[in-house]
């Protein structure tokens, strides 16, 4: 399992690749990953974001409570 700092570093590199239009990323060990489309790159970022949330202990709420009124 990667550390939180590693996950954040990978996310930064993916964001740089996404906004520069590059579809190939090389990590620190020299391994290259080539994404086929912008959607695939966005999916990798979403997956990485959820891993960062889990590693940081920031979980989304498991329930939502609505507070409504008739305005009276």
| pLDDT beyond 80 at 66 | yes
Q: What is the pLDDT of residue 59?
A: 65
DSSP for residue 16: H
Please give the structure tokens belonging to residue 2: 């990667």
Tell me: the pLDDT tens digits for 20-51?
877 777 877 888 888 777 788 888 889 988 88
- pTM of the predicted protein model: 0.58
Tell me: the pLDDT tens digits for 2-18?
888 888 888 888 888 77
Q: Which of 43, 45, 36, 60 is nearest to 15 (CA)?
A: 45
């Amino acid at each position: 399992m990667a550390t939180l700092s590693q996950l954040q570093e990978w996310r930064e590199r993916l964001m740089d690749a996404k906004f520069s239009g590059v579809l190939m990323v090389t990590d620190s060990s020299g391994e290259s990953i080539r994404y086929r489309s912008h959607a695939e790159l966005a999916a990798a970022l979403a997956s990485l974001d959820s891993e960062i949330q889990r590693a940081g202990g920031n979980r989304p709420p498991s329930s939502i409570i609505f507070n409504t009124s008739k305005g009276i």
